[in-house]
Amino acid sequence: MKRSAMMRLSQLLLAMMLLVVMAACGSKADNNGNEAANTTNQTTNTANQTTDETDTGGKASTVYPLTLTDATNTEVTFDAAPQKVVTLVPSETEVLYAIGAGEQVAGVDDYSNYPAEAASKPKVGGMEANIESIVGLKPDLVLASSTMNTAVIEKLRGLNIKVYASDPKTYETVMEKVATIGAIMDKASEAAEVIQHMQDVKEQVQSAVKDAAQPKVYLEFSPGWTVGKGEFLDEIITMAGGVNIADQQSWYEIDPEKVIAANPDVIIYASMTVKEGEKNPILAAIESRPGWEAIAAIKNKQLYEIEQDPLVRVGPRLADGLLEVAKKLHPDLVK
């Protein structure tokens, strides 16, 4: 399994290296119009490619113009590395800082709180961002979520503001997103280091739990809400050595009786910001639900709070979220 994982990582890094050194002499790669494939293959859906490390001391350097197709199936061309970037979701903010592009961050969404430097950046609103604030910052790129910022993306593109949107659904496509943003920002080598760390954590966890019994897991990320198949959090539970009891696709509001019937061995819930002395609303809801006292996880005191942001943000710290889930599920195996 380790050899296979290393092969996949090598392929990912090779794809990134190919992307970031594009030549301007080729034609654009074929686009099959499949949005899901675009998310997975955004690191390779480009013009013809070559290697140019002559003037960078062996460090990969992006050759512009660079053309990519984003998660909205829109072609986006970059003539140079963006110098003023606005982010509409915290994960994109974290990616930029992680690859050493923090100085290029011109503005962030209201929820971007990591790293600490992000707090000093101009704020442009929440999911329904303030268009005037964004326009006033004069960005040459806006990084967005294709699912959470749909209306804003359309408005910004209508104003001829360049937007690159993503929507990774797996741990691997999060790594691919890091590679893509690294290429856009001419930070490919730095992005490769982030990806390597994420891969190392994944291999550490999977190696540790590969022969362990798999507990049934219920995850509640917001009061009354869980996540099922087709989303990265479901995959995180699996990689961490557990079995998600969620029986529906995507994000959905729970049926408390079905959770009782599934009888999870472990309950994981996300931390939430509360006033001093107040209980996490998720935990309060769990403890108040009729019949839940019979659930194995509650009877055996296997309820664990995990820091919310690394768990739910599709950025570099998702590796931290994976590691923490694994520690809760298999404390004797994962340190």
Domain 2-198 of CATH type 3.40.50.1980: yes
| DSSP state letter for 46 | S
Residues 66-110 have pLDDT tens digits of 999 999 999 999 999 999 999 999 999 999 999 999 999 999 999
Residues 113-126 have pLDDT tens digits of 999 999 999 999 98
Question: What backbone torsions phi and psi does residue 271 show, to the nearest 5 degrees?
Answer: -65, 155
The predicted model gives 244-263 an average pLDDT of 94
**Exposure string over 266-287, b if 16+ CB within 10 A, otherwise e:** bbbbbebeeeeeeebebbebbe
User: Which has the minimum average pLDDT: 21-35, 219-233, 283-297, 317-331?
Assistant: 21-35
pLDDT greater than 70 at residue 49: no
Facing residues of 290 across strands? none
| DSSP state letter for 280 | P
Residue 267's pLDDT band, with cuts at 50, 70 and 90, is: very high
8 Å CB contact between 114 and 316: no
* Token duo for residue 14: 């090779």
Q: Specify the amino acid at residue 102.
A: G
The predicted model gives 14-42 an average pLDDT of 36
User: Which has the minimum average pLDDT: 24-33, 87-96, 227-236, 296-305?
Assistant: 24-33
Residue range(s) of every CATH 3.40.50.1980 domain in the chain = 2-198, 211-329
The model's pTM is 0.83
Q: Which is it for the CA torsion 120, 121, 123, 126, positive or negative?
A: negative
pLDDT greater than 70 at residue 36: no
Architecture of the domain made up of 211-329: 3-Layer(aba) Sandwich (3.40)
DSSP 292-304: GGGSHHHHTT-EE
